[in-house]
Each structure stands twice: as C-alpha cells, then as structure tokens.
Amino acid sequence: MKKSYYLFNPGRLSRKDNTLKFVPIDKDGNEGQVKYLPIEGIKNLYCFGALDANSAMYNFLGKSQISVHFFDYYEHYTGSFMPKDYLLSGKVLIEQTKNYTRPKLRMGIAQKFIEGAAANMLRNLKYYQGRGRDLSLHITQIENYSNEMKEAKTVSELMGWEGNIRQVYYKAFDKIIPNFEMGNRTKRPPSNEVNALISFGNMMCYTLCLDQIYHTQLNPTISFLHEPGYRRYSLALDLAEIFKPILVDRLIFSLLNKNILSEKDFDKKLNYCLLNESGRKKVLRDWEDRLNQTIKHRKLNKDVSYKHLVKLEVYKLIKHIMKIEEYQPFKAWW
C-alpha cells in the first residue's frame, strides 16, 4: 500500500535504481544517514526542509505519478510539483468550464460547498454541546447565518457569509479547548498554538484535496467558490472547506484535549508561534492515522477511509458537472 513520506530535514534527493535516495544534510554541511525509499511504496512527498534535487529525479517522480508538496520555514505551503495529468477528458473540462462561466451554475455549486462546511461545523459544535460545553449561542448564530446565506445573489456575498459563519465557529474554540486560548484567527504568522495548528492542518487538508483531484478528470485550477488564480489550485480550496471541520478541527480538539501536544511542541517568538519538529511529527502521525480510519458509508453500505471520502466527493462533483446526478455535499452524521 502506498503512503505519504514527510521530509523534515534539509537534504539531497536523487534516484538510485528504482528507489529514491535521501541524504540528510545538517546546517554545517555534514551528511547524515542515507535513507532509501522504494518508489512503488510512495504516494507523495511533503518537504519541510530545503531539498536539493535535479531534473532527472523529477522526471522519475513524474513518470511514477508522485507529487511533491513544499513548505517554507514558517510552515506556509509554497507550492507543489504535480506530474503530468494522466486522466484527461476534454468533455469533463468543457463542462467544468461551463459551470464556472455561467453564474447560475457556479452559484449552485459554490452554495453547496458552504452548506456542507457549515453543516460539518455545526456537527462539531453539537458534539461538544452534548458534552457539557455551552455552545448554544454559537450554534444558533451559525444556523441563522446558514439560512440567510441562501438569499445570496453572488459568490462574493457567499464568501462574506462563509466568513461570518467561520468567525462565530472559531469563537467557540476557547470553550472546546479550555487549556489553550485561540483569540482572533491569525494566519501569517499564527499568534498562538491553536492558530498554528489550524494553519498547519488547513494546508495538509488542501494538499490532500489536491492529490485526490489529480487522480480524477477534473482540472484543479477551475473552481467555483474561490476565485481561480494564476498560481494556485483553487478547486482544492473549495473541497477543503467541506473537510476542514471533520479532518483538521477534530484532530486539533483531540490533540489538545488529550494533552498529546503541549507548549514544548511549539516554538514561540515575539510575534509568531509555530510547531517545532517534535510537534509536526506528532500532528502528522495522528493525521495519517485519521485519514486511514474508516466509517460505514450510508449510501455505499461499506467501510471507506476518510481519505477516500475526499475522492468520493470529487466523483460526486464530476457527476453533477456532467448532469448525471445533482451534487450534495458531504455532511458528517457522527
């Protein structure tokens, strides 16, 4: 079974027969223990340190359909190496473009994304409401915003309602995680532990969605909720809205409430807070475990992993675009 590999240390990556050879290099230029990664066991690579590689290695990765995601020192996602599309479909591309260029069709899809995101946020809040947290005001506000959002006429208005919903949702975090204070949502840079975890988790969710889109006929640059940009895969941002409450936020609640993470897993400076290497390893270990967990899918009547739920969402979107079946966003029921 293929899996993701995370490269935390700076180093040199090269091809060695049918394996990848990674040589860690410390800040003084000394080489560490060589690690060999069999190519047939790699799904994708995540690079958190400087990577020295040549075009021959990337050709090898491209032929093996392995993507590489890059992050800078501040844990910001900076970009991806994506292999050449191998599931091309001109018909799907044409229909996807039509659904973007026609305002009514685009609004229909964009509204579904926010509908799914809001429903999954509410599911989280209601879970903790049932466990003694007083979140009734937050729940009521989000329900009201979700109803008012249905009257939006433009995607910009939708984004405004989405912002209102998420602002109320984040205000509930201080009650869900009593030992850590979130305060206002801050991104660049994160101001405290909770903001650092949200930023890091959201980036992982984005790259997960991007990987799943790559293995379908959809074009990741043509989106419906977020405005397509010249240098980003904005459809992955759309899909991530649905899954961030389920995958990222629930992971954060678990890590902090169970004391798996503590203050020693973060680097705090005057104006920012970031996960250190031990913190990243703990988060990514639980992230991988969560993605591989399975649930009983109500419609398919079989066990599917959280990771596969994302791909199923992409397939549902394709069916909608191709006028096979109306798209309904995934809403958690547990």
Q: For residue range 20-41, list pLDDT tens digits in order.
A: 999 999 888 899 899 999 999 9
Going from the C-alpha of 256 to that of each of 17, 83, 84, 159, 321, the distances in angstroms are: 43, 36, 39, 30, 40
CATH code given to domain 90-321: 1.20.120.920
Residue spans per domain, the chain: 3-81, 90-321
Q: Which pLDDT band holds residue 231 (cuts at 50, 70, 90)?
A: low
The SS3 of residue 15 is strand
The contacts of residue 144 (CB under 8 Å, 6+ apart) are: none
Q: For residue range 244-273, list pLDDT tens digits in order.
A: 999 999 999 999 999 999 989 999 887 889
Q: For residue range 142-184, list pLDDT tens digits in order.
A: 999 999 999 999 999 999 999 999 999 999 999 999 888 888 8
**Mean pLDDT rounded to a whole number for the chain:** 93
* pLDDT surpassing 90 at residue 46: yes
The secondary element (H helix, E strand) that includes residue 316 is helix 306-321
Phi, psi of 69 (to 5 degrees): -110, 135
**Does CATH number 3.40.50.10540 belong to domain 3-81?**
no
Give the length of the chain: 334
Q: For residue range 52-82, list pLDDT tens digits in order.
A: 998 989 999 999 999 999 998 878 889 999 9
Q: CATH topology of 3-81 equal to that of 90-321?
A: no
Q: For residue range 201-226, list pLDDT tens digits in order.
A: 999 999 999 999 999 999 999 999 99
